[in-house]
Amino acid sequence: ATARALAGDGWQVVVGARRRDRVEALARHIGGRAHVLDVTDPASVEAFAAAVPDDCRLLVNNAGGALGWAPVTEADENEWRTMYDTNVLGVVRVTKALLGRLEASGDGQVITIGSIAGHEPYPNGAGYNAAKFAVRGADAGAVLDRVSAGAVNAHAGVITYTQWLGEDGGILADLTVTR
């Protein structure tokens, strides 16, 4: 939906996803460009970044996934690693890969599609909750590190926008909108 909306608004859109058939179908539908992307693979992220135009002004991080349905006492550590690698490190990898272009644009923005699980834990979902809480922290930290003029973390019903502008390195605006 985000890629369609951006393309409809005149943005040049490069979409990345693991499944070639789906990402190519989406790109054809919106008039964008497709690239196979696995955010858990640094080489794949670098190849994707190389396909993105130099004048990149917006990054929408949307990769993620939940695995397992068990209490912490029965947690599968490999599932937790996979969720962290995809949900958290995937955001970090792609953001780092495109950061130079976002900064050079003068108004680069990062939007991360999160989850309510990053705000409200649910039973048997601690691994996914932990990953999504970490994504929120990484976004906020990126703003404080002056990586982005602003970071948006969005999920069903809640959008949080944090903007850094203060000369003292502080947060100028931290706005949460809920339905």
Pairing label, strands 109-113, 58-61: parallel
| CB contact at 8 A, 126 and 172 | no
Tell me how many degrees the CA angle 58-172-170 measures, rounded to the nearest 5: 100
Distance CA 40, CA 158 (A): 27
Distance CA 59, CA 117 (A): 22
Of 112, 110, 130, nearest in space to 122 by CA: 130
- Please indicate whether residue 128 is annotated as part of the active site: yes
Which of 84, 122, 128, 161 is catalytic? The answer is 128
Specify the 3-state DSSP secondary structure of 115.
Answer: coil
Catalytic residues: 128
